[in-house]
Every structure is written in structure tokens, then in C-alpha cells.
Amino acid sequence: MPASRFPNLFVLDHPLILHKLSIVRDARTPSPDFRRLLGEIAALMAFETCRHLPTAPVVVKTPLGEASGARIAAPVTLVPILRAGIGMTDGLLSLLPEARVGHLGIYRDEETVQPVCYYSKVPTDIAAGPVFLIDPMLATGGSASFAAGELKKLGCATIRMICLVAAPPGVERMLADHPDVPVHAAALDDRLDERSYIVPGLGDAGDRIFGTR
């Protein structure tokens, strides 16, 4: 369901997602469990985020006859924003094993305070189908907006963002810059602190995924 404050935001509040998210938020949850649960949540989120994938009709032979069915009509590409986005990618691949995976590496220039792409590796035909932009945290929205812009430069017309936790400033930034990019999140949190961390959030997702905190 779209959040009432933001027409571009879809909060996926399934009980299993909420249950696992509560454990992920807990500061006592160790990195191995954090990684596993992040993948499980991503897999659960995939059911809803894939709802509008284009399909084409097919007829298959069963052991007893023929059956009409459907198959995904266009190649799907997952694009995690490095490094934390990798933590959700395997969970999505468990539901979409046919998907291709591209990568975008983005950092913020200390002098200009603007995002800079330091790494980009995506399929040459990425624009041929829908793209899922992946990052666990949507805080200020700077990196996500920049990444969506980079994908649009490559001709991508159907982009959806998948994140674990979003904050109002990030959702607002995406709505202003990319109103055609829906944001799917497991939770909309209260605010950002003075360091632009999401509150209550879950800390630094990258550090908790890779055990570097």
C-alpha cells in the first residue's frame, strides 16, 4: 500500500517482514544473523515488488496435456549500490535466479558534497527490461537519486527502488527528483540525526553486514 504522506512510497508491512526487521534492528544481532535476515526480508519483499513485472503467455506440455501459463517477458536486472546493497541481492536472486546483476559504486566528494560514481558495471542491454535499484537504507536520498539518474542515462525506463528502512527526507528527495521511481521499503522511520543516520534505524547497514563495525 502506498504511504499516505508519499505517493511514491510503498511500505511492505507483512507480519514476517516486521518480525524479521525487529531482529535486524536489535543492536545485539550478530553479523551472520544480520546478513541472513536481510536476505530473507529481501526475498519476502520480492513478492510485492515483482507484482507488476511484464509477462508473456506460453503454452507448456504437462504429463497429461497442455496448460496455458505465463513467463516474465523482459530481462530483469538487479543493481545494488555498493557496498550495502549487496546484502539484499542474494535474497532477491533466490526468487529471481534468472535476473542479471549490475553494480554501482558511489561516494560523496568531501569538497563538493556531491555524489560521484567510482564504479559502474551493468549489462549492455540493461534498458531492455525493468531494473531494481537496491540499497538497505534510504536516508538523505542523495546516492539513490544519483544512481537512478545514472540508470536513466543508460535508457532505463522502468526502475523500482528496494530498501529496508527509509527516512522522510530520502523519500521526499526521490519524489522530487524521480517521481516515476516507486520506493518499496519495509519501514518508514522518523527522521535523520545530525550525522544523517536514520533514527531509530538499525545503524550502519554496511558495517553490520560485513562485520566491520
Return the C-alpha cell found at 18. 516486521
Kindly calculate the radius of gyration of the chain based on its CA atoms and give it in whole angstroms.
Answer: 18
Question: CB neighbours (10 Å) of residue 39?
Answer: 20
Distance CA 196, CA 105 (A): 19
Hey, is 169 helix, strand or coil?
Answer: helix
- Residue 23's φ and ψ, nearest 5 degrees, are -70, -40
What is the three-class DSSP state of 27? coil
CA–CA distance, 213 with 207 (Å, rounded to integer): 5
Give the type of residue at 144. A
Distance (Å, whole) CA 159 – CA 149: 10
98: closest CA among 76, 117, 79, 129? 76
Report the catalytic residues. 108, 112, 204, 207
Cell numbers linked to 135: 540499497
Please tell me the distance from the alpha carbon of residue 162 to that of residue 201, in angstroms, as a whole number: 16
**N-terminal to C-terminal alpha carbon distance within the chain:** 34
